[in-house]
Structure 1
Amino acid sequence: MTDSSTTDDATDRSTDGETTRPTNRRSHVREEYGEIAATTDGCCGSSAADATNEPEPTAADDRARSIGYEADDLETAPEGANLGLGCGNPVAISRLEAGKTVLDLGSGGGFDCFLAAREVGPEGRVIGVDMTPEMIDRARGNARESEFENVEFRLGEIEHLPVADGTVDTIISNCVLNLSPEKPRVLAEAFRVLDAGGSLSISDLVATAPLPQEVREDPDAIADCVGDAAQIESLEAWLEDAGFVDVSIVTEDDWSEALPVVSARIEARKPA
């Protein structure tokens, strides 16, 4: 196994910039996403109504459609769950089955959790974990307004998941792994909580070449999901080091004109 598992995380531990230290990075990201969660209509638009009281499409809805969600997905989730975040549709690639248990890393307002709940049905279970209290409050409020009784949201860091060993069938995540200053630990935790034969299906941003140091140390670039996008080779090594097999990272759309960052589907499996 190569030593590339240290490539992308080294910046967080060696830099003299206080904002890029893991604890301070988490605080900055938590603050940014807390502000998004606290806004009435999310980060990307308002939910206006026309004369017939039918909600007009929001910028968040338009963004969701642009990254792979269907109109039926937007209708399934309760209003306020889609915050216009993410870079793909992990539920669509996860091939969820009825009765299974799903864990969403960085669940935000709960959008993907509600879509997963539809797929696993009432006999299944969906757990969302997010480190931002405002996001958890919003997601729990959305759950109370929904028809889904098999969804719960837990406050916690994805580097230290509040989930028991071997209790999850599928893990999904949408543009959250790149925010973590300790990505290998996140993947090790994912491996721990998966049952044997369980799968990982992530939509995230990855770097196709090294990013400039000033970008990697910019707290706003990190919070915008591009500043600490990991290189593909590093992700592959971290997944294999954690114990995953059948690792697949498929790049999709360019995400930035100025930086070598693209969206990707990241899939892997815990051995049976």
Structure 2
Amino acid sequence: MKSIENIQSMGIGLYFCYTRNMKTFEETQDFLRQFYTQVAKTTGGCCGKPAATSTKAEELGYSYEELQSVPEGAEMGLGCGNPLSSASLKEGETVLDLGSGGGFDCFLAARQVGESGKVIGVDMTPEMIARAQANALLGHYTNVEFRLGKIEHLPVDDATIDVIISNCVINLSAEKQKVFSEAFRVLKPGGRLAISDVVATGPLPEAMKQDPELLGCCIAGALTVPEIEEGLAAAGFEKIDVKIKPESRQFIQHWASKLKAEDYVVSATITAIKPIPKQSPVRS
């Protein structure tokens, strides 16, 4: 097998042709982890997702001011929306970002929760963590922390998080129910889930689901809206709401363009609440 550096220099198309030789899902995931290591060392962007510009960020729902407010290189063009638009963050809250990448959403969240609040970013790639930590130092963020870990096994204590955000990451997980259950575990009662992710507009053909290229491009792992609703409900969430963003087809058409990805997936905003346990009536 060619080295990751050689494959990266060839471009994303040839890079992924080698993943088709992977025999197990674990091997593919390891290979993709290596790829995101390389993305962390560059300006970002993959699978036709361009590296960040003010125009591209605005397409995802961010303002020019937001893009300019964070350290250069924090926004890497890897998202599919703006989870903060539905998070309704408040001063003093503790926020957890699943798959925090270069730290862009963490830094925006840090401004909203203020110095009395805290933001934790979790990512499985050491190089992404290192890049985010460097960005935090550059931007003098004292209320942001980055932890190495998997979103299926969060390095976070029970019931310590007010709000969970995530941007185009959960679709990559092979164990989404574990992700939903872990999110539920770490949220405080009454805590909120506010994520942006891709959803399938219908059942994906099995051949697509098994295609490593389409997994890496945030297509093969997309769930349908009913699957997301059922998975979150099974984890214990209530007030589940999945809002499709039809306009997202404009930028998704550049992902795996030969496939016409916009015919299969769209971006969505997904929100849910961890219910507060009902108190038993006090007997006199």
- Fold conserved between structures, TM > 0.5: yes
Output the CA distance in 2 between the equivalents of 1:231 and 1:145: 39
**Cα separation, partners in 2 of 1:22 and 1:184, compared to 1, 3 Å:** farther
State the partner residue of 2:275: 271
**Cα separation, partners in 2 of 1:148 and 1:139, compared to 1, 3 Å:** same
State the partner residue of 1:260: 264
2:54 is paired with a residue of what secondary structure?
helix
State the partner residue of 1:175: 168
**Identity of paired residues, percent?**
51
Deviation, 1:177, is 0.5
State the partner residue of 2:226: 233
Matched, 1:36 2:39: yes
State the partner residue of 1:77: 70
Output the CA distance in 2 between the equivalents of 1:267 and 1:18: 37
The residue identity in structure 2 corresponding to 1:38 is K
Matched, 1:210 2:203: yes
Deviation, 1:22, is 4.6
- Asked if 2 retains the 8 angstrom alpha-carbon contact of 1:32 and 1:223, the reply is no
**Cα separation, partners in 2 of 1:209 and 1:195, compared to 1, 3 Å:** same
Matches within 5 A, 1:116-155: 116-155=109-148
State the partner residue of 1:54: none
**Cα separation, partners in 2 of 1:185 and 1:25, compared to 1, 3 Å:** farther
Deviation, 1:99, is 0.2
The residue identity in structure 2 corresponding to 1:43 is G
Deviation, 1:43, is 2.9
- Asked if 2 retains the 8 angstrom alpha-carbon contact of 1:128 and 1:153, the reply is yes
Give a deviation string over 1:192-228, Cα, whole Å, max 9, x none.
0000000000000000111122211111110111111
What is the aligned counterpart of 2:27 among 9, 24, 27? 24
- Asked if 2 retains the 8 angstrom alpha-carbon contact of 1:43 and 1:60, the reply is no
Matched, 1:101 2:94: yes
Deviation, 1:19, is 4.2
State the partner residue of 2:55: 62
- Asked if 2 retains the 8 angstrom alpha-carbon contact of 1:122 and 1:150, the reply is yes
* Number of equivalent positions: 242
The residue identity in structure 2 corresponding to 1:182 is E
- Asked if 2 retains the 8 angstrom alpha-carbon contact of 1:20 and 1:217, the reply is no
Long gaps (5+) in structure 2: 1-19, 254-259, 277-284
Deviation, 1:27, is 1.2
1:145 is paired with a residue of what secondary structure?
helix
- Asked if 2 retains the 8 angstrom alpha-carbon contact of 1:18 and 1:24, the reply is no
Deviation, 1:26, is 2.6
**Cα separation, partners in 2 of 1:269 and 1:59, compared to 1, 3 Å:** closer
What is the aligned counterpart of 2:244 among 234, 243, 251? 251
Long gaps (5+) in structure 1: 1-16, 45-57
Backbone CA RMSD of aligned residues: 1.7
State the partner residue of 1:220: 213
- Asked if 2 retains the 8 angstrom alpha-carbon contact of 1:22 and 1:182, the reply is no
- Asked if 1 retains the 8 angstrom alpha-carbon contact of 2:152 and 2:179, the reply is yes
Output the CA distance in 1 between the equivalents of 2:105 and 2:52: 18
- After TM superposition, the runs of 4+ consecutive aligned structure 1 residues lying more than 2 A away are 17-26, 41-44, 58-62, 253-259
- Asked if 2 retains the 8 angstrom alpha-carbon contact of 1:203 and 1:263, the reply is yes
1:184 is paired with a residue of what secondary structure?
helix
Output the CA distance in 2 between the equivalents of 1:169 and 1:25: 34
